[in-house]
A and B are shown apart, each in its own frame.
Chain A
Amino acid sequence: MIQQYANPARFNRLAATLMPWFAWPAGVLIAVGLYFALFNSPPDYQQGDTVRIMYVHVPSAWMALFVYTSMAISSAVGLIWKHPLAHLSAQAAAPIGACFTFVCLLTGSLWGKPMWGTWWVWDARLTSVLILFFLYLGFMALQNAFDDPARGERSAAILAIIGFINVPIIKFSVDWWNTLHQPASVVKISGPAIHSSMLIPLFVMGVGFTLYFCALLLLRMKTLMLARRARGMSMAQLHQQASE
């Protein structure tokens, strides 16, 4: 069933159908999330109003991990089953993931300064997220490092899969190393340790960011497909000119 979407025309049709279902709700949810985050949620009893940074910081962190996971899965599918869209999807996702990771680090730093008294510490969580950021950059660099795009694709895919080891490390870093970053308070076995007035903006933003990612992923995959086609066509034209 998945194989039939390897056909570009079919993929484009499917993407065109799905796009509005991702893009519009993403815009609406992020707007609603911002309203809750900035106007309609209480200040924290310890963090004061800086808790509002969490409503963009935490969803960005979720996305940083989610996008990387999707990239590692696509890369594995591309290497094992050679599905033509798999590498394309990883390639389209990488810059989006890098942006979310960057935003996560930046907003974390802007929260850390007033609350921890420092922009940055080499805490396990912060360091492993910084490594995640470099993995995204490395993936993108490796992909373009070869003259043969297929080789770049494969090398980058291997990096993405090896780098996946970092994802559980990030997730559990706050439990394994008792350093500065606070442990999870939303995804916990005993249930979330946060009041619903703060969970609502967090989840609305999280879903909004996810839909934004989906819409942008489709758009970027479409662009990559067109670019591949342009490359094929210009090479064929050069060939034709040479043989004439």
Chain B
Amino acid sequence: MQMISDFLAIGGYSGFIWTAYGAVAVVLVGLLIVSLRKLRTTSAEVAALEANSPRRRRNNTDNKDATS
């Protein structure tokens, strides 16, 4: 128990050190989550649009590749 509280206190600067590491974790993990979520919603959007226009997909395959 003493060991754990010593570790958490890290030489009396615990507030600064844990805040720094916490901020890094929040920002980097947060960015990852936001990016993954954005990928999912955009993929769903494209899938919905594709389902919406099956005719166009058959007719204008070349055109679609050029715009994508």
Contact = CB atoms under 8 A, between A and B. Distances in A.
B30 to A, nearest CB: 8
A81 B63 CA distance: 23
A204 to B, nearest CB: 15
A228 B68 contact: yes
A233 B68 CA distance: 8
A65 to B, nearest CB: 17
B36 to A, nearest CB: 7
Interface string A98-134: 0100110011001101100000000000000000000
B19 interface: yes
Q: How large is the interface on A (under 10, 10 to 19, 20 to 34, 35 or more residues)?
A: 35 or more
A111 B16 contact: yes
Contacts of A25: none
B62 to A, nearest CB: 13
A8 B35 CA distance: 19
Instruction: Please report whether the interface of chain A is mostly helix, strand, loop or mixed according to DSSP.
Output: helix
Contacts of A39: 7
Contact of A49 (B10, B46, B49): B10
A230 B20 contact: no
Contacts of A96: 31
A52 interface: yes
Given A53-B16, A234-B49, A236-B67, A227 B27 contact: no
B68 A232 contact: yes
A93 B37 CA distance: 17
B45 to A, nearest CB: 5
A113 B67 CA distance: 52
Given A232-B67, A233-B46, A223 B16 contact: no
B10 A52 contact: yes
Nearest to A205: B24
Contacts of B19: 110
B20 A237 contact: no
Given A53-B16, A53-B17, A240 B56 contact: yes
Given A107-B23, A216-B32, A50 B17 contact: yes
